[in-house]
Structure 1
């Protein structure tokens, strides 16, 4: 079968339901949470400050979740995304601090952050695609390596070498929406185009959905995996820049819980852990939903522990629904029981 024929069939399969069904479920959950907290705590939840908080705290989680989702698209996982983000942020801080008197200091720091991130991605890709180490083991080990490098480079302290124009960017808005959110939206559009409109994106889906079919169609799996983990690390590097701009510093220990959160977001968004399916819009909606859930509970005077419990219940509920919902529908249809 030609590459075009396989691509046409796969696109038809994706249009047939998986991604759209998961996206619809996520939209229903988001709308439900919004309505519940709008009624329960209207003054706090519907305030401009709350919406600004959600918009400002979401970008870094979206970017890290997209990095994780790209790896999951190829039936892998990248446990090093947060460590890469922190190492990239520290690289940016060190370079910007050293170039503080130069008008090119900010640009040099951004380039350094992305360069470090891509180098980390190449290291992961070499371990996975060339050495044949399972992604979960390779990225678990590299995560510890990158975290250790971050700790040594920063001396265990928060690095504060960012110029004012870099940290002020996190405080600026456009049309009332934080600039960091617009930055995340632009990156998300590029990722959506990559996975849905390019040959590389098609091959990533093929490798994740059916590796044997990918081999038969002449796809170089190793090369696809190299691109996947380099791009995943690149997204983590952008996340590191976003984090450091918002926090006005870089820390080797920042975002320790983000790895698990990124997996939660990917599952909620409908990304298939077995590979072959991704929805970028779903990732964005899932993050906003989780942030709305947290801000709504805080508006009701709930503690951070209550927020964690609620997020865990949300994940379990969505997984159970995704697992048993289609089976229940098929069972009802097989018995010819009307659904209405």
Structure 2
């Protein structure tokens, strides 16, 4: 039980804000939007927020793994675009859907692995490596399609993006599974321990026998894999794949992770915070739409939220 004396010292308030500040902020935002818009708390709108947040949420899971190792992945949006157009192209050629899905996910994992190999074995800076992969992947997507969208996908593929399991849209179900699986890896496996250890103290982690190269390769491959999965869900919902898909998605994913309390220095954070962060970004976007705020201001608002989150993190650290 927290004593009055300890509260006066401020230490436990810092711990409280560090652990629950994001949750309190999320519920306060939801309360504010429910007061200014009677459409916010409708079941249809709630499902819409969850469906839209699922794409960012899936990408943010991979981003969390990367950032926990003190890395960064700026290529997720471009990897999403490249795997999406390749997937759509294969679908149009009449290949079996199961084979197309496996191919698209494998391509995403390979692209992520290339970044992971460059970071782990050549010791290149993650921000430079993934910036290069971002440019290459986007260029390949544009070249592959000639800059034109691929439309009219098989209706049987729409299920992954537009289908439902009972009343719950499939994207929400997939995102929930990814979060649960990611949480299990981070909290119940040796791999999760290695990821945290590598981000917290890479020198000590290596001296203790942890294969840092394999861990780094895994997290970047996972990030690419989940970007490809998010891309498939997106084109299943849109029934088309454009080479410009995913523009800015890397910033939304980073915003969700940072707002959720994961340290950019690595070694500190969890997927529960990332989940709330992704929902908060989704609610922000939805709220701005409900209030008819210009889309031009969305980036400004997100930037302010990230800056505020970083200031709060520093204040309670």
Q: Identify whether the pair has TM-score above 0.5, normalized to the shorter chain.
A: yes
Structure 2, unaligned runs of 5 or more:
1-11
From 106, 111, 122, the equivalent of 2:113 is: 122
Q: Offset at 1:147?
A: 1.2
**Partner SS for 1:45:** coil
Q: Offset at 1:115?
A: 1.4
Q: Offset at 1:158?
A: 1.0
Figure out how many residues of one structure are paired with residues of the other and give that number.
306
Question: CA deviation digits over 1:242-280, x for unaligned, max 9?
Answer: 111112121221121111121111110111111112311
Structure 1, unaligned runs of 5 or more:
1-15, 327-340
Question: CA deviation digits over 1:153-201, x for unaligned, max 9?
Answer: 1221111263101114423233522111111110111111111111111
Alignment of 1:90-169 (within 5 A): 90-99=85-94, 105-160=96-151, 162-169=153-160
Q: Quote the Cα distance in structure 1 between the aligned partners of 2:145 and 2:84.
A: 10
From 70, 73, 97, the equivalent of 1:75 is: 70
Q: Offset at 1:113?
A: 0.4
Q: Quote the Cα distance in structure 2 between the aligned partners of 1:97 and 1:33.
A: 43
Q: Is the 8 A contact 1:55 1:181 kept in 2?
A: yes
Q: Quote the Cα distance in structure 2 between the aligned partners of 1:109 and 1:22.
A: 43
Q: Quote the Cα distance in structure 1 between the aligned partners of 2:215 and 2:160.
A: 35
Q: Is the 8 A contact 1:265 1:283 kept in 2?
A: yes
Counterpart in the other structure of 1:27: 23
TM-score (norm. length: structure 2): 0.90
Q: Are positions 1:191 and 2:182 aligned together? A: yes
Q: Is the 8 A contact 1:90 1:150 kept in 2?
A: yes
Counterpart in the other structure of 2:35: 39
Q: Quote the Cα distance in structure 1 between the aligned partners of 2:268 and 2:14.
A: 8
Select the structure of larger CA radius of gyration. 1
Alignment of 1:221-240 (within 5 A): 221-240=212-231
Q: Offset at 1:219?
A: 0.9
Q: Quote the Cα distance in structure 2 between the aligned partners of 1:111 and 1:191.
A: 20
Q: Quote the Cα distance in structure 1 between the aligned partners of 2:123 and 2:165.
A: 46
Q: Is the 8 A contact 1:96 1:106 kept in 2?
A: yes
Counterpart in the other structure of 1:338: none
Q: Is the 8 A contact 1:74 1:276 kept in 2?
A: yes
Q: Are positions 1:89 and 2:89 aligned together? A: no
Q: Quote the Cα distance in structure 2 between the aligned partners of 1:20 and 1:96.
A: 50
Q: Quote the Cα distance in structure 1 between the aligned partners of 2:36 and 2:19.
A: 26
Q: Quote the Cα distance in structure 2 between the aligned partners of 1:21 and 1:215.
A: 33
**Partner SS for 1:183:** helix
**Are residues 73 and 152 of structure 1, via their aligned partners in 2, closer, same or farther at CA, if it must alter by over 3 Å?**
same
TM-score (norm. length: structure 1): 0.85
Q: Quote the Cα distance in structure 2 between the aligned partners of 1:147 and 1:17.
A: 45
**Are residues 54 and 265 of structure 1, via their aligned partners in 2, closer, same or farther at CA, if it must alter by over 3 Å?**
same
Counterpart in the other structure of 1:290: 281
Q: Which moved more, 1:302-311 or 1:231-240?
A: 302-311
